[in-house]
């Protein structure tokens, strides 16, 4: 495994300029995927369809058809999103006999329309009901930085395959942190867009009030490139470094920093140092927001699975996920309504902050990746529970529906992640800040270990 893989921009340029055919680019990526098999990150390799799409792209210039902007760039798809001709397993044994999808999910279709090539379906936690990437059916997805550690979940396979250098970017989904936590644990970049920004058509639902689909990438530039393709627009121009450097930044203190181990909070402060005006903002109400997000998630996932036939198919669920669905079904409607009311209050509270700051910074996870199978870990004298705590920093921001870039801070040992948070619909600002801190050397992807 290597991080020397070309960026998506460089791969596409090679194909457009005739330096390398798309088939060669895709074939190399398939070889990297096969070499990364010990990570347990692929549900299926799409070799036949990927090579056929690449060959079709290679014939376009001779037919007088210009190549699209991401021609030949391979990417992976979390197996929660439909890919035409393949079953969408959602990490679940209960869906093993599901019919193949008739069409791509909208987000997959957007990348294919831009010339990108689906290379593999990425493994994930069962029905996205997990925060560690440890699927009791398929086994754990292993972290390329240290295969004895978790990737985080539920976009586990996408994170691992990007971090291993198999592809420059991939698609994940994020309800309460399922892009941001794996990105942090695996030392890559991830984007949770504003809730409602990208279509969820063709995505198996978890909790539709909070669900989003977004890209994960090895560089901040590729993250912006993938996001632009998902929107169907050109990549936005680079924001001037000086303009970004003088943005007003708020660092989330009480309610966030007080739960992070010192090394994680130190990374947040290092990133903050790259900007001009920095202030600390305490949000002690964040615990109430976490509770509201948990109630909404549990209630909606229970009802979604009820509609998917849980009553007659529950034997195909693992015990852990079955218990989660049953707990959600047991929640009374008035609890859910109260949580949704609080969601509106919390959203307004966070929106008001952007009258005073342009961006917010917070830890992405309270700690770096933990050992596979660990029920609890002791970090700096505090006991953490990975299954419950990995989304502690991400859930309150999900509840508000804000766009967030997870930025990797690599150094000695395992990397940690920093959330760069913008106001709704301001993904471009968070992405510009991401490119700036990457250029400044404060955030960068981590190098994987060879297996």
Q: Along the 451 residues of the chain, how does pLDDT read in single tens digits?
A: 444 578 999 999 999 999 999 999 999 999 999 999 999 999 999 999 999 999 999 999 999 999 999 999 999 999 999 999 999 999 999 898 899 999 999 999 999 999 999 999 999 999 999 999 999 888 999 999 999 999 999 999 999 999 999 999 999 999 999 999 999 999 999 999 999 999 999 999 999 999 999 999 999 999 999 999 999 987 655 444 558 989 999 999 999 999 999 999 999 999 999 998 889 999 999 999 999 999 999 999 999 999 999 999 888 999 999 999 999 999 999 999 999 999 999 999 999 999 999 999 999 999 999 999 999 999 888 999 999 999 999 999 999 999 999 999 998 899 999 999 999 999 999 999 999 999 999 999 998 875 5
The whole-angstrom separation of Cα 337 and Cα 334 is 5
Q: Choose the catalytic residue: 43, 154, 155, 297.
A: 154
Q: How many residues are there in the chain?
A: 451
Burial of 243 (0-12, 13-18, 19+ CB in 10 A): exposed
Residue written as token pair 């398939």: 30
Which of 78, 294, 297, 318 is catalytic? The answer is: 78
- List the catalytic residue out of 43, 173, 178, 209: 178
Q: Is the pTM of this model over 0.95?
A: yes
Q: Is 21 exposed, middle or buried (0-12, 13-18, 19+ CB in 10 A)?
A: middle
Q: Which domains are seen in the chain, by residue range?
A: 8-288+334-439 (3.90.1300.10)
Q: Is residue 178 annotated as part of the catalytic site, yes or no?
A: yes
Active site residue 78: yes
22 close to 114: Cβ distance less than 8 angstroms: no
């Amino acid at each position: 495994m290597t991080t020397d893989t070309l960026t998506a921009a460089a791969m596409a340029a090679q194909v457009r300029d005739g330096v390398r055919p798309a088939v060669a680019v895709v074939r190399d990526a398939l070889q990297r995927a096969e070499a990364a098999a010990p990570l347990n990150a692929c549900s299926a390799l799409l070799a036949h369809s990927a090579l056929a799409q690449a060959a079709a792209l290679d014939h376009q210039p001779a037919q007088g058809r210009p190549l699209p902007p991401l021609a030949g760039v391979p990417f992976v798809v979390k197996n929660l999103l439909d890919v035409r001709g393949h079953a969408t397993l959602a990490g679940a044994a209960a869906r093993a006999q599901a019919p193949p999808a008739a069409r791509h999910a909208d987000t997959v279709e957007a990348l294919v329309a831009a010339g990108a090539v689906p290379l593999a379906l990425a493994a994930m936690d069962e029905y996205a009901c997990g925060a560690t990437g440890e699927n009791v059916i398929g086994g754990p997805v292993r972290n390329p930085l240290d295969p004895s550690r978790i990737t985080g979940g539920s976009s586990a396979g996408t994170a691992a395959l990007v971090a291993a250098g198999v592809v420059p970017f991939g698609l994940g989904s994020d309800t309460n942190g399922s892009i941001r936590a794996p990105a942090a644990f695996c030392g890559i970049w991830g984007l949770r867009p504003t809730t409602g920004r990208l279509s969820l058509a063709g995505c198996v639902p978890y909790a539709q009030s909070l669900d989003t689909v977004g890209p994960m990438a090895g560089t901040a530039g590729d993250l912006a490139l993938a996001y632009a393709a998902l929107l169907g627009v050109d990549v936005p121009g680079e924001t001037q470094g000086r303009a970004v450097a003088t943005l007003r930044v708020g660092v989330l203190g009480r309610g966030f920093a007080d739960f992070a181990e010192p090394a994680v909070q130190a990374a947040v402060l290092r990133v903050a140092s790259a900007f001009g005006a920095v202030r600390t903002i305490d949000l002690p109400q964040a615990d109430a927001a976490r509770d509201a997000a948990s109630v909404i998630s549990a209630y909606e996932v229970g009802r979604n699975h009820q509609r998917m036939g849980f009553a007659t198919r529950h034997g195909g669920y693992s015990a852990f996920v079955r218990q989660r669905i049953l707990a959600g079904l047991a929640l009374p409607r008035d609890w859910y309504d109260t949580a949704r009311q609080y969601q509106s209050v919390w959203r307004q509270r966070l929106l008001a902050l952007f009258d005073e700051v342009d961006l917010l910074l917070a830890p992405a996870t309270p700690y770096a990746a933990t050992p596979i199978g660990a029920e609890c870990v002791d970090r700096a004298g505090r006991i953490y529970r990975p299954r419950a705590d990995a989304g502690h920093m991400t859930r309150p921001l999900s509840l508000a529906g804000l766009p967030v870039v997870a930025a990797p801070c690599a150094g000695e040992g395992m990397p940690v992640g920093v959330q760069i948070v913008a106001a709704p619909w301001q993904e471009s600002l968070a992405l510009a800040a991401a490119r700036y801190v990457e250029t400044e050397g404060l955030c960068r992807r981590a190098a994987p270990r060879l297996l």
